[in-house]
Amino acid sequence: MIVETAMLGSRAVGEPLTISGVDGPHSLHSLLRILVEHQLDEYEAHRSRSAVLQILTPADLVAGAETGRYGREPRAVPEAPPAETAYARAVEAFTDELFFVFLDDARITDLDHIITIEPQSRLRLVRLVALTG
């Protein structure tokens, strides 16, 4: 399944995400759970990578020679919420119509409706943005 994200009114589309092993019948509830778990795993991998020193710049070498410590100060990357909290937020956002879900150009409006995912199915999440004054 290919997952795309977009913002209504924006031409930019997020980097497509391919999730394998989800073929077959699913409800939107189960698809949201799969997406949330995948994104939490990605976020944790990002946190791990950002904690590891990857490149020393010339400025880092100069600062290291002066202080005796090489590398940048570790950035505080907040911990992800628990999976159940993140899933509840996703369901609440869908219920509040903060984003729409389309599967192969057909809008899904019911969390319990059973849909069949094919290997080349395209799931699109379109985030709505409130217009101001």
The chain-wide mean pLDDT, for the chain, equals: 84
Place of tokens 């919420």: 81
* Phi, psi for 94 (deg, rounded to 5): -65, -45
**Residues 105, 98: Cα–Cα separation, whole Å:** 18
Where do the DSSP E strands lie in the chain?
A: 2-7, 17-18, 24-27, 99-103, 106-108, 114-117, 122-127
Greater model confidence, 130 or 95: 95
Output the pLDDT for position 54.
60
pLDDT of residue 72: 59
Give per-residue pLDDT as tens, 45-80. 887 776 665 667 788 788 888 887 766 565 667 889
**pLDDT, tens digit (0-9, with 9 covering 90-100), for 110-127:** 999 899 999 889 999 999
Give the dihedral sign, CA 96/94/8/37: positive
pTM, to two decimals: 0.73
